[in-house]
Amino acid sequence: MGMIRTQNFQQTFRMLKLSKSIGTNRFFQNSSYHILSGTKTAKELRVQAFKEIEDIKKLNPNFKPTLKIIQVGSKPDSSTYVKMKLKASKESGVNCILEHLPKDISEAELLNRIENINADNSIHALLIQLPLPKHLNETLITNAVSYTKDVDGFHRYNVGELSKKGGEPFFLPCTPNGCMKLLQEANIDLSGKNAVIIGRSDIVGTPMASLLKNKNATVTVCHSRTKNIEEIVSKADIVVAACGKAQYVKGEWLKDGAVVIDVGINYLPDSTKKSGQKLVGDVDYESAKKKASFITPVPGGVGPMTVAMLVQNVLTAAKRQLFESEKPPHITPLPLHLKRPVPSDIDISRAQQPKYIGKVAEELGVRDSELELYGHYKAKISLSVLDRIKDRKDGKYILVAGITPTPLGEGKSTTTLGLVQALTAHLKKPSVATVRQPSMGPTFGVKGGAAGGGYAQAIPMDQFNMHLTGDIHAIGGANNLLAAAIDTRMFHENTQKNDATFYNRLVPKKGGKRTFTPSMLRRLQKLGINKTNPDDLTPEEIKKFARLDIDPESITIRRVVDINDRMLRQITIGQAPTEKGQTRVTGFDITVASELMAVLALSKDLKDIRSRIGSIVIGSNNSGEPITVEDIGCAGALTALLKDAIKPNLMQSLEGTPVMVHAGPFANISIGASSVIADKIALKLVGTPLNKNDAEPGYVVTEAGFDFTMGGERFFNIKCRSSNLKPDAVVLVATVRALKLHGGAPDVKPGQQLPPEYTEKNVELVRKGVSNLCKQIENAKSFGVPVVVAINKFSSDTDAEIQAIRDASINAGAEDAVATNHWEEGGKGAINLAKAVIRASDKASEVKFLYDVEAPIEEKLTTIVQKMYNGADIELSPEAKKKIELYKSQGFSNLPICIAKTQYSLSHDPKLKGVPAGFTFPIRDVRASIGAGYLYALASEIQTIPGLSTYAGYMNVEVDEDGEIQGLF
């Protein structure tokens, strides 16, 4: 590199030490100079970086610092610099990706590409190779790079932070930082020294001045308009030349012992060189070395350091991302201003000012690129977050279920919200509630919303209960497309008798060529036809492929609507003259009863939901063979309609703790729980790094529909089988009111005043009714998980009644039984419950399923009835027996199963309270949700679209003059 050999650095340091000891005002009293070798120091830094990366990989195998370089055009000098960066990155263990873009790329296209890279979590650093073509605004482009990836240090944030006292830029610009590193390596004390910088560029001069100033040097910046530069330089202890003028600074300008940092890169003609030119700096090296104590050569000085510091910045960016990914969520709670008496739910929700949802996401550890905003207070979380945090250990998984309830409900959702508010806002434990999205049917019907209640609810309550981000509407649209596709297919098959003509219309020519769709290819594979060219099928194969021959009586898909519209329970379709007599009797379900909603709840990712949708059995052909959505040919379209619905929704509780709201499968005929995806994301977000065994995990609190006999059993046997997630504890919600009902108190009816037995002290009724609670504790413990009882306390409950419940719970095997008052006090009222849950979840547990899925359908049903319901046996109707035989023949008998029954009794009869025994449980029908992956039996007439009462919830709803919704509950 043309470097002059001089005394080594050790001798230099000794001389520096000596000069300080004799109190000289100059670095050296002689003209001996020492080369500041950027080549040597840069090599040492690359070796250090490589070793550090390898050391981190031992604990984090997926650690891969990655730099993306964007080069616009192909200028030779830029290409040379890029090659240097690629070489240095490789030697340092940094993954460097070069992306060439055309010279004439538009500014908008380049900005869009930068934005995509900003959002790519696998890229830690982004560098725009300068200079850019003149039609591109360099300031705009460099500022478009995220300041967290701006390893050049050019973003306005990094520049601004560097320039202010006490600022904290994410990155220091590489060349100035390299200069400072060389000064540091030479052990040069900068405090109080007079430093002169020649050149005021944003890349070197200006940031160099800030760095020197921050080391307490006295800094003068000279430029083209500065007068008497020679005189200013002559007084400098340190000279940084960065003006872009070849050999501009002369040796006679320097004072003896000055430190000279030459940043210049210039080419001069030189006939002795093969290239015809030589590389020189901004300093006349030959004359300057006679006066300098330290001097950087060109080449071999600052240049290698620039690239080395770039590598250091990339490594810093990757380590910072790793550190951020390993930090537990830090959630700042919102204060509650409690009022007595407790206002309505909507008034409480409206009185609280929520955080912006972006802040909730940031505190939880969700990045901007993983968040899709839907206004200020709700957002969707991209599934890409799971790829980023997939290697984390899961947090603790808590299931909230309940005893057999009254028609008024016992407060499971309120307890779920109160528990997370207590865990996070009061005990400082990271937690997330994962809950179902409410249907507008119950919201406008009798039940009301499902956001919790009192001072334990998700907010904004009106947005939570109405529309949210449109997931239920997406399910409705997809379901109704499927229903239309089924009827349309039957219509065309029945009205087009010629197989060849029908086939030609089913697989039409486009541009003179026919091709099979992906769904068609899957159907051909299912039929054993190994052909991909539509013109190659024989007439027999054409008929086999094209004719689905659907039996109308077997169709299980009904249209849906998200309203309790009882008049749609049974309808006749196809009555228009255009339908040529293709009429049939069908009906509507409420949207959340669609199998697509269950598929959404149980899917793991987009690929899984596509597969499950294709597997949905819509009915049978006239030979009894199952017909699937894949056969109909619309699985891809349905997936397209649900591609956004598959992303969980993020909201918050009244105390600002995160709440994920996703999916809402109908609790009677499905799992009645929120989505697997939401649980998986939440568990990773509050989880711990794999390599930190002492890290404390956070908590995910989710809820099962109805009582444990129904919702809890399905949660374990269906949802947990599908997700491979195992709860660490179960919370059973009980009330004095419900236990008095099971103890013999009069029936509770919605909208009617409670009988006095419920508002007056009656310990004896409670003691009689706790048998139901004890049976539910037994049910929950049978799955091998610790149980905590949450006694949701009402103002009329007495200490003696609460104690009776607590004593019975402990005797039945519960870890604890805790009275809570979260409805009135928010998280503060559930602190003791949260502490009990923490203790219970730390106990060892081993989840056990109730039955083997390979067991016969009849055996699985009998097991549920005997072990969960306390019944004696099952009784199958002829229709149920017929269906069971059909599913056996179709290969569906090895699926888990749930039972649709009343939620008001352990049995099939809502009048049987407490713990009835010895009854025979009637099964009138068995149906299949093959895409969702389970069967379900019907114990009685279950309405899959509820009706509205005489006085319904919608009657209370109004919108005030400011557009605020009133009257929701």
The residues assigned a catalytic role are 85, 129, 152
Band (pLDDT 50/70/90 cuts) for residue 28 is very low
Domain-located, residue 966: no
Q: What percent of the chain has pLDDT over 70?
A: 95
Whether residue 217 lies inside any domain: the answer is: yes
Q: Position 542: which residue type?
A: I
Residue 945 lies in a domain: no
* Residue carrying structure tokens 């043309």: 2
DSSP H helical ranges for 383-536: 384-389, 412-420, 440-443, 461-465, 471-495, 499-506, 518-527
Do 801 and 838 belong together in one domain? yes
C-alpha–C-alpha distance, residues 932 and 602, integer Å: 7
User: Which tens digit of pLDDT belongs to each residue from 538-558?
Assistant: 999 999 999 999 999 999 999
What are 489-498's pLDDT values in tens digits? 999 999 999 9
Q: Quote the tokens at residue 317.
A: 């960016």
Q: Decide if 121 is inside a domain.
A: yes
Q: Which two tokens stand for residue 312?
A: 């250091």
Residue-level pLDDT at 9 = 34
| 832-to-427, 450, 673, 837 alpha-carbon distances in Å | 10, 24, 26, 9
Q: Tens digit of pLDDT for each residue in 250-294?
A: 999 999 999 999 999 898 998 888 888 899 999 999 999 999 999
Are both 220 and 304 inside the same structural domain? yes
Does 751 have pLDDT greater than 80?
A: no
Per-residue confidence (pLDDT) for residue 945, from 0 to 100? 78
pLDDT mean across residues, the chain: 92
Looking at the structure, do residues 453 and 543 belong to the same domain, yes or no?
Answer: no
**b/e per residue, 237-255, with b = 16+ CB within 10 A?**
bbbbbbbebbbbbebebbb
Is the peptide bond preceding residue 460 cis, with omega within 30 degrees of 0?
A: yes
Q: In CATH, what number is assigned to the domain containing residue 868?
A: 3.10.410.10
Question: What CATH number did the domain enclosing 674 receive?
Answer: 3.40.50.300
**Residue 961, pLDDT above cutoff 90:** no
Angle at 433 between CA 592 and CA 851, to 5 degrees: 65
Q: Which of 116, 159, 110 is nearest to 130 (CA)?
A: 110
Residues 385, 414 within the same domain: yes
732 and 777, same domain (yes or no): yes
CATH of the domain at 272: 3.40.50.720
**Domain boundary pick from 622, 642, 662:** 642
Q: Summarize pLDDT for 338-361 with one digit per residue, the tens.
A: 999 999 988 999 999 999 999 999
For residues 585 and 733, membership in a common domain is answered with: no
- Considering the domain architecture, whether residues 800 and 919 belong to the same structural domain is answered as no
Alpha-carbon span 838 to 850, nearest angstrom: 26
- In-domain check, residue 302: yes
Altogether, the residues listed in the chain come to a count of 969
Q: Give the residue numbers spanning the domain of 515.
A: 472-642
pLDDT value of residue 966: 75
Give tens-digit pLDDT for 778-817.
Answer: 999 999 999 999 999 999 999 999 999 999 999 999 999 9
Residue 439, by phi and psi: left (phi above 0), alpha (psi -120 to 50) or beta? beta
At residue 1, does pLDDT exceed 70? no
Rounded average pLDDT over 889-895: 95
**CB-facing half-sphere around the CA of 395: CA atoms within 13 A:** 28
**pLDDT value of position 750:** 76
Residue 904 in domain: yes
Lowest pLDDT segment from 19-28, 54-63, 130-139, 839-848: 19-28
- The C-alpha atoms of residue 754 and residue 745 are separated, in whole angstroms, by 10
Residue 963 has pLDDT above 90, yes or no: no
The residues, any chain, with a CB within 8 Å of residue 58's CB and separated by 6 or more, are none
Whether 302 shows a pLDDT value over 60: the answer reads: yes
Least confident of 513-527, 740-754, 916-930: 740-754
Same domain, 771 and 680: yes
736 and 602 within one domain: no
Residue pair 705/382 in contact by the 8 Å Cβ criterion:
no
Question: What's the confidence (pLDDT) of residue 175?
Answer: 95
β-partners of residue 241 are 198, 262
Residue 29: pLDDT over 70? no
Of 9-18, 72-81, 269-278, 586-595, which range is least confident? Answer: 9-18
What's the pLDDT at 18? 33
Lowest mean pLDDT among 157-171, 433-447, 635-649, 940-954: 940-954
H helices within 164-267, ranges in order?
Answer: 174-185, 205-214, 229-233
pLDDT, residue 857, reads 97
Residues above pLDDT 90, as percent of the chain: 82
For the ranges 8-22, 595-609, 866-880, 951-965, which has the lowest average pLDDT?
8-22
- Single out the residue in 792, 807, 842 at which a domain terminates: 842
pLDDT above 80 (res 110): yes
Mutual orientation of helices 635-642 and 606-615 as an angle, nearest 10°?
Answer: 140
Mean pLDDT of 566-576: 93
Count of domains observed in the chain: 4
Q: Is the pLDDT reported for residue 691 higher than 90? A: no
**Residue 874 and residue 743 in one domain:** no
Residue 447 — very low, low, confident or very high, per pLDDT cuts 50/70/90? low
Nearest CA-CA partner of 827 in 443, 449, 334, 367: 334
What would the mean pLDDT of 511-531 be, rounded to a whole number?
94
CB burial readout 38-69, b (16+ within 10 A) else e: bbebbeebbeebbebbeebeeebeebebbbbb
Q: How many CB atoms neighbour CB 101 within 10 A? A: 14
Q: In the block, which residue shows the tokens 């039945």?
A: 812
Residue 658's pLDDT is 98
The confidence score (pLDDT) of residue 668 equals 87
Q: Is the separation of the CB atoms in 626 and 352 below 8 Å?
A: no
| pLDDT band (50, 70, 90) for residue 2 | very low
Examine residue 323 and state whether it is found in any structural domain, yes or no.
Answer: no
Do 744 and 711 lie in one domain? The reply is yes
Query: Using an 8 Å Cβ cutoff, are 182 and 302 in contact?
Result: yes
Q: Are residues 373 and 401 in the same domain?
A: yes
pLDDT average, residue stretch 924-930: 96
Residue 62 scores a pLDDT above 90: no
Q: Are 179 and 202 in contact (CB under 8 A)?
A: no
Q: Is 50 exceeded by the pLDDT of residue 109?
A: yes
Amino acid in the structure at residue 451: A
* Domain finish residue from 842, 877, 909: 842
Asked if residue 28 is part of any domain, the answer here is no
Report if pTM > 0.75: yes
